[in-house]
């Protein structure tokens, strides 16, 4: 066939946070890896997200997900340090804990009930989030608006710079001897001998195994290898302010101050297909809510905004799948690719390298939707 | 170091850190400062390291200065005018909570 076929132990399709973290982890296990990544026109959640490494509220209806998230958060400090040492690029991870502001009695009851349901998700180690009253909040974060009545604080929450994280993973890939092919949009996938062939417009690549980590692209690629990928887009818009001296001591679900001093404001959930437009009514809604939480933001200018599309399954939990028809083919899809980066680079990469998903992640199989 | 091709057309003046800077009509604060050899416009809010112009087209926000008492103005997007008072920005702007 094609004479520019290049062979690796594993082909990873997609070089976003998910593909890059897995590839970096696979390389650590001595496998040869090629990452094929589409160009700048692709939908790339990894370049447009909020940067939280977030544990609280994750996995209320699926405790395996709560545990997987927590496992990743527990691995993050070492992961961040290791990446920084190896690549010279720190993902600027910090773990001061995280806050969810509560502005109504109803929400207070809802979050409180969630804490009670989840208090035992990690057995002895607990859930890790607690309710704080307004007085306790004021000690933690001065300057909250009068409408904030309480908050939920979780010591396992933190945040990172997602662009530096991605950059570090890409550099790490190269340093570990991996091959990264930009502008490598995969058009077709097929079996080739014992392995797989991925064909791009400029040539084809062979791999013993293949991991589809192409975000929304997986929906199209998956079926070529017998993998049904039930994911849909959900837009989120983010605003960024000018840089200021330290103002927020910890990230919150709608606001966080970055390592550069800017404040990111976000958390919209829009059903607008694959559009990444940012639109004024949503942006002003985001800004208004943030000002209710933290009125000093009123004094800051917004310097940037954008929209990006989340990769979501119907229940919001990951879709990790091994193909039954094509053994050696995997697809990995999730929201919260920043949070899960440490789990993807560590335990998930190991499971893929060993060819066996452990019971703790088999719950993420899309078979859970079959009887829905 | 940037240099003017034709320096004699500088007819506008403003101050940077109190020093008088001569500029051409149509200059931005950033272009006039660059032509005067001034490259250090602010200190990073995080590391304290010096920052200056980078993109010269309003995209990078590296060129922030204080203009007439207002912080975080982009020098490359601020046209010069007679008697502007421009100052170097030291670290992050403090916002009162
Ligand atoms: C607004 C917003 C806020 C978010 N906030 C957070 C947060 O605070 N914390 C958190 O943990 N997560 C957050 N997320 C989620 C997180 O960004 C995603 O889970 C993560 O980026 C998914 O990474 P990915 O690699 O699967 O997808 P992507 O970043 O979309 O990467 C997929 C890659 O595949 C490539 N590709 C696509 N098709 C092909 C093809 N045919 N051939 C080759 N390559 C292909 C693309 O070029 C792309 O680089 C947020 C997401 C959004 C949109
Ligand atoms: S130099 Fe980039 S914004 Fe001014």
pLDDT per residue as tens digits for the range A185-204: 999 999 999 999 999 988 99
Residue A105 confidence (pLDDT) above 50: yes
Location of structure tokens 């200059």: B27
User: Which residues on A lie below 8 Å from B73 (Cβ)?
Assistant: none
| Structure tokens, A165 | 């994280």
Beta bridge partners of A319: A333
Q: What is the pLDDT of residues A206-260, one digit of tens each?
A: 999 999 999 999 999 999 999 999 999 999 999 999 989 999 999 999 999 998 8
What residue of A is the nearest CA neighbor of B46?
Answer: A260
pLDDT band at A53 (very low <50, low <70, confident <90, very high): very high
- ipTM, two decimals, is 0.72
Share above pLDDT 70 across residues of chain A, in percent, rounded to a whole number: 98
A266: left (phi over 0), alpha (psi -120 to 50) or beta: beta
pLDDT for the residue numbered A3: 47
| C-alpha dist (Å) from residue B44 to A82, A107, A317, B54, B66 | 26, 39, 39, 14, 14
Residues A297-351: tens digit of each pLDDT: 999 989 899 999 999 999 999 999 999 999 999 999 999 999 999 999 999 999 9
Q: Which ligand does the CA of B30 lie closest to?
A: 2
Dihedral sign (CA A152, A238, A19, A187): positive
Provide the whole-model pTM: 0.92
Q: How far is A271 from chain B (nearest CA, A)?
A: 29
In angstroms, the CA A199 to CA A4 distance is 11
String of b and e for A92-125 (b: at least 16 CB within 10 Å)? bbbbebbbbbbbeeeebeebeebbeebeebbeee
Q: Which two tokens stand for residue B45?
A: 């809010």
Contacts of B72 in chain A (CB under 8 A): 242-243, 301
In this structure, are residues A186 and A170 in contact, taking their beta carbons and an 8 Å threshold? no
pLDDT of residue A316: 95
Chain-chain contact of A261 with B61 (C-beta, under 8 angstroms): no
Distance A91 CA to ligand 1 centre (A): 17
A interface with B, Cβ–Cβ < 8 A, is: 142-143, 242-247, 259-261, 294-296, 299-301, 303
């Amino acid at each position: 066939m094609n004479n520019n076929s290049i062979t690796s132990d594993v082909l990873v399709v997609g070089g976003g946070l998910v593909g890059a973290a897995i590839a970096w982890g696979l390389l650590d296990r001595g496998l040869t890896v090629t990452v094929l990544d589409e160009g700048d026109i692709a939908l790339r959640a990894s370049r447009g997200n909020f940067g939280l490494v977030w544990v609280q509220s994750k996995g209320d209806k699926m405790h395996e997900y709560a545990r997987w998230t927590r496992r990743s958060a527990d691995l993050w400090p070492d992961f961040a340090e290791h990446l920084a040492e190896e690549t010279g690029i720190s993902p600027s991870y910090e773990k001061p804990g995280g806050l969810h502001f509560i502005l109504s009695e109803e929400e207070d009851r809802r979050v409180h009930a969630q804490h009670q349901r989840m208090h035992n998700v990690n057995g002895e180690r607990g859930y890790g989030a607690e309710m704080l009253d307004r007085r306790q909040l004021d000690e933690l974060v001065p300057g909250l608006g009068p409408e904030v009545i309480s908050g939920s604080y979780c010591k396992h929450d933190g945040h990172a710079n997602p662009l530096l994280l991605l950059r570090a993973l890409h550099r790490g890939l190269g340093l570990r001897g991996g091959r990264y092919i930009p502008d490598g949009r995969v058009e077709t996938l097929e079996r080739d001998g014992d392995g797989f062939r991925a064909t791009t417009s400029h040539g084809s690549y062979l791999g013993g195994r293949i991991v589809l980590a192409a975000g929304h692209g997986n929906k199209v690629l998956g079926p070529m290898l017998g993998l049904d990928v039930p994911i849909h887009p959900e837009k989120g818009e983010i605003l960024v302010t000018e840089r200021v001296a330290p103002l927020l001591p910890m990230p919150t679900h709608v606001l966080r101050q970055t390592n550069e001093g800017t404040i990111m404001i976000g958390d919209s959930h829009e059903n607008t297909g694959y559009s990444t437009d940012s639109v004024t009514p949503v942006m002003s809604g985001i800004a208004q809510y943030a000002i209710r939480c933290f009125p000093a933001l009123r004094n800051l200018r917004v310097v940037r905004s954008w929209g990006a599309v989340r990769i979501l399954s119907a229940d919001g939990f990951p879709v990790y799948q091994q193909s039954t028809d094509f053994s050696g083919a995997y697809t990995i899809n999730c929201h919260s690719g920043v949070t899960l980066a440490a789990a993807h680079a560590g335990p998930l990469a190991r499971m893929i390298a060993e060819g066996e998903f452990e019971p703790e992640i088999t719950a993420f199989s899309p078979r859970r939707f079959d009887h829905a | 170091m940037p240099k003017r091709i034709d320096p004699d057309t500088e007819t506008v003046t403003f101050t940077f850190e109190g020093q008088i800077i001569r500029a051409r009509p149509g200059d931005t604060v950033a272009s006039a400062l660059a032509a005067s050899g001034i490259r250090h416009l602010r200190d990073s809010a995080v590391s304290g390291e010096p920052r200056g112009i980078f993109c010269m087209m309003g995209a990078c926000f590296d060129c922030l200065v204080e203009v007439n008492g207002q912080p975080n103005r982009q020098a490359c997007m601020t046209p010069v005018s007679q008697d502007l008072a421009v100052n170097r920005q030291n670290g992050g702007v403090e916002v009162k909570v």
